[in-house]
Amino acid sequence: MTTKHGKILSYIESLPVGEKISVRTIAKQLDVSEGTAYRAIKDAEMKGLVSTIQRVGTIRIEKKRKESIENLTFSQIVNIIEGDVLGGSKGLDKVLNKFIIGAMTEDAMIRYITKGSLMIVGNREPAQKLALENGAAVLITGGFDTSHEIVELADRLELPLIKTSYDSFTVATMINRAMTDQLIKKEIMLTEDIYTPIEKTDYLTTENTVMDYRRLNEKSGHMRFPVVNKQKRLVGIVTAKDVIGKPDRMSIERVMTRNPFYARTHMSVASVAHTMIWDGLEVMPVLADDLTLKGIVSRQDVMKAMQSAQRQPQMGDTIADQINQLLEISESEENGVVYKFPVTPQMTNSVGTISFGVLSEVISDAVYQFLTFMDKRNAVVEQMNLHYFKMIQMGSEIVIEPKVFDMGRKSARLDVNVYAENIPVAKAVLVCQIMQRT
C-alpha cells in the first residue's frame, strides 16, 4: 500500500517541469496535512525533483541523472564529433576499446586493427573495407561519402560507419579527450558506497526499554542506536546521555531524541560529512525513500572514504590534479612554510594572466596541504574571500603563504598572502571545516 509520503512524491514527479508548487496546494489537493506535505517537498528537493528559488518559490525541475562514463560507445562518439551515421546503426551501442588513425598502407594497417576498435580514415575505400572485415568500426573524416558497397557491408556486420567534416587530427583529439574523461577515477563518493547495511546494524524499536539499550551497548560496544517503529521507519536515535539516570523499565520512546538527522543513499559523502562536523554527530541513520531504515553511516566510515579518495591513483588528470602536481612546498626563514606554483599557459585566461578560478584552486590546495602538515585531516573550504591586487602573468611563479589566525575543534580560519616576485598580488581569508578522529 502506497504511503501518503510516497503518494505526494509520485504526484510531484508527475507534474510538468516549471510547475510551481506549495505546501498548502499539495495538502489541499491530496488531502494530507501541511506537515506531511512539507516533509515530502523537502524530500523531493533532496532527490532533485524540485528547487526552491528566492522570490519565486518552489518549482518542479528536471531530475539530473548521474551519467555513467565507464563505457564509451560509438553512439557517444557520434555526438562528440558531430558525425553522421552512414551505416551499421545496429552497432552504435557497442563499446569503443581504442581508435586507430589509418595513415598507412593496408598491409601495415592490418596488425593494428582489433575488434571493438575505431578506424579513423579519409576517402580510402580499401582501408574502410579492411577495417570492417576485421571487426572495427570506421570513421570517415573530411566530410567524404563512401560507396553503397561499404554501407551494405557495415549494415551486414552491424559495425558503425560514421562520417564527420573534421580532419583526422581534430577528431583524434576530441575522442582522446573523451577517453581521458572516462579514465578519471576520482568520482564523487555517495553514501550508498560506504554505509553499513541494516543486516549488520544494531538498532532498537519503540517497544524496547532502557535495559534493552544497556544490553545492546554491552554486546556491541556502541553508544548510539537508531530507533524504529513496527514498520522499520526511523522515529529517533538514542545515545548514552539519553539513558543516564533513567530506570531500566522506562520505554526507549520516552528517552530517545526525536527527528534526528539522517542520510539518503544518493547523498554525497561530502554533504554527510558537513552535517556530521557542524552538528557533532558520530552516527547518522541511512533511510530508504519510504523512510525505512537501510543502515547507518559513521564518522569513521566518512573519514576512511575521504582519505581513500585522496589517495586514489589517477589515470586521467583533472585541472585540480595538475595544480596539485605543480604545487611545491618550501620553507622560508621569515614566514615558515610557503608553497610555490608556476603559472603555465593552461592555467591562464584569454589575456595571458592566471585564471581567477585557478588561483582560487591553488590557494585552496595550499591550505589543504598546510592543514595536513599541521597534523589535521580532511579540511573542507567552507568560505573564501579572495582579493586580486595585480595581474599574475603567464610564466611567473607565485608564492602562497598561509597562516592560521583562529583554530577551533571543528573549524579553522586562515589568512593567505600571495606574492609574485616578492610583490603582494592577492590575499585571501578562508574558513575551513576540520574533521578529526574523536
Average pLDDT for residues 348-352, to the nearest whole number?
79
Range from 118-132, 257-271, 276-290 that averages highest in pLDDT = 118-132
Residue 417 has pLDDT above 90, yes or no: yes
Share of the chain above pLDDT 70, in %: 88
pLDDT tens-digit map of 197-215: 988 888 999 999 999 999 9
- Could you read off the pLDDT of 245-254 as tens digits, one per residue? 899 999 999 9
Instruction: Quote the pLDDT of residue 66.
Output: 44
Q: What would the CATH number be for the domain defined by 191-307?
A: 3.10.580.10
Confidence check: pLDDT of 365 > 70 = yes
Q: How confident is the model at residue 393 (pLDDT cuts 50, 70, 90)?
A: confident
Measured CA angle at 374 (ends 368, 380), to 5 deg: 30
Q: What is the band of 130 on the pLDDT scale with cuts at 50, 70, 90?
A: very high
Q: For residue 135, what pLDDT is reported?
A: 92
Residue 137 has pLDDT above 90, yes or no: yes
In this model, does residue 437 exceed pLDDT 70?
no
pLDDT of residue 235: 92
Is the pLDDT assigned to residue 380 strictly greater than 50? Answer: yes
pLDDT at 127: 92
Domain topology for 317-433: Thiol Ester Dehydrase; Chain A (3.10.129)
pLDDT surpasses 70 at 422: yes
The domain ranges of the chain are 4-60, 74-183, 191-307, 317-433
Q: How confident is the model at residue 60 (pLDDT cuts 50, 70, 90)?
A: confident
pLDDT above 90 for 336: no
> What fold is seen in the domain 74-183?
3.40.1390
Q: What is the mean pLDDT of residues 261-271?
A: 84
Cα–Cα distance measured from residue 43 to residue 49, given in angstroms and rounded to the nearest whole number: 9
Top CATH class of 4-60 equals mainly alpha
